[in-house]
Amino acid sequence: MFLLAFLRSPAPSPTREEFERAALPHLPEIYRTAVGLLGGNRTEAEDLSQDVFLEAWKSFHRFEPGTNIRAWLHKILVRRTSRFRQRLSRLLPFGNKDETRDDIPAEEIAVEVEVPDYLSDRQVVQAVANVPPPFREALILADVRGFSYQEIAGMTGAPIGTVMSRLSRGRRLLREGLAAVAEERGLGGGK
Amino acid sequence: MNQRLQHAFENEPVPRDLEAQVCARLAASAPGGRWAGWRRALAGGAVLAVMAGLWQYTAHRRLDELLRVGLDDHVHCGIAGGYPHMKQRLEMTAGLGPEFAPMLQPVIDRAAAGRATPDTVESAHRCTVNGRAYVHIILRRGDTLISVIVTRRTADEAFPRTLAARLIRASGVELHQESLEGYAVAGFESGAWLGYVVSGLPAAENEALAARLAPVVRRFAL
């Protein structure tokens, strides 16, 4: 009897229907963010998106109803992407250096990237995917998903200053990347 | 937020079956509770402990039953004094019968090994207790009687292993010993037979004696 009572949780567990109702509408967004974070690797992005939802389901009891489930799913995604990259970097002989600088002037951070209209969506996504990981992460979370510095710092575990630094650097690298793509195709006027 | 970047990402096609795959994985996975893992582990452990306890209890009862087979004969012949007192070796070998007569001397020799005063043989005979036939050698060490007993075992008689009883290995023989009714009772299997060394000796002394005698008995009780 004691065993049965113990096995039955006193707190009601959330149902799968509840989870699916709350989380599944964000699946396309999570997948697309994963594509960007993983540098355009769509196969890995598909697997990673599934893992994110599975992890979210397993820890759904920790999620407080009424809070931002979108940000929570993105946080899981960012952590998983980071772990994935760490595993990958152990297999690769060289990795990208995580360059950070905390003394970025505010006006430099505010400068958004102007994306030429003549580039296709696919080319734009690929240009973002070509930005090195830590800068790309900040770029996608801030400029594509619209999360605040505070939220990004919470997701990535990096200080706000580092987030700002990475974002600034990410924007600059994206600007250079877009210019290169345009130039390659003879569409733009260079950098 | 950069509208153009956002637009580019929103147009990234999502695999058609992604949602179905996610739902399938969710359906196959149980949700985690705050203590779900611990609860499951503890419940599993408790079930295992209960099962192990039941198994041990049953095994121990069975072991008691089997050791009592030897104790019954020791009490009946030795303690109640109903055994035929013998002085002559010829009488003893005749009492054991041709099958076990050759076992007598090796048993005496092994029991006496390392002792300044060898044990004396009080009796060597065949007897029947509670409808069960026994081959019974009774030795005396000081005031204490020692029974070396052999009896045919039935198909379902096998010594179970338990945590409570001592298990000793002596020259390939597994000895099971317990204290029953104030006597040290060691039992072992020997082919189609069960062998016992029962005495009022301290448990360690009876155990050491049984470890010396069991291999000898095994040579004759096949």
CATH superfamily of B63-220: MucB/RseB, C-terminal domain (3.30.200.100)
Q: Containing H/E element for B106?
A: helix B104-112
Q: Is B25's CB within 8 Å of A19's CB?
A: no
Task: Residue A14: list chain B partners with CB under 8 A.
Answer: 31
Q: What is the ipTM of this complex?
A: 0.79
For chain B, 222 residues long, give each residue's pLDDT as a single digit of tens: 678 888 889 989 999 999 999 999 888 886 665 566 677 788 888 999 999 888 888 888 888 999 999 999 999 988 887 788 888 888 888 999 998 999 999 999 988 887 888 888 999 999 999 899 999 999 999 889 999 999 999 888 888 876 666 677 767 788 898 899 899 999 999 889 999 999 999 999 999 999 999 998 988 888
| CA neighbor of A44 nearest in space, from A7, A92, A77, A5 | A77
**B41 interface with A at CB cutoff 8 Å:** no
Question: Touching check for B131 and chain A: CB below 8 Å?
Answer: no
Please, what sign has the CA dihedral across residues A191, B4, B5, B7?
Answer: negative
Domain A106-184 carries which CATH code? 1.10.10.10
Give A-chain residues touching B42 at CB under 8 angstroms.
6
**Each residue of B42-59: b (16+ CB within 10 Å) or e?**
eeeeeeeeeeeeeeeeeb
CB contact under 8 A, B10 and A32: yes
**DSSP label of B53:** H
β-bridge partners, B147: B138, B198
Q: How far apart are the first and last CA of chain A?
A: 74
By Cβ distance, the residue of A28, A57, A146 closest to B1 is: A146
From residue B153, give the alpha-carbon distance in Å to each of B60, B189, B196: 18, 8, 12
Question: Shortest CB distance from A60 goes to which of B1, B15, B31?
Answer: B31
pLDDT tens, residue by residue, A136-168 = 999 999 999 999 999 999 999 999 999 999 999
Work out the minimum CA distance from B66 to partner chain A, whole angstroms.
35
Please indicate if any CB of chain A lies within 8 Å of the CB of B18.
yes
Domains of chain A, by residue range, sit at 12-91, 106-184
Using alpha carbons only, what angle is made at residue A161 by residues A158 and A163, rounded to the nearest 5 degrees? 50
- Identify the architecture of domain A12-91 in CATH: Orthogonal Bundle (1.10)
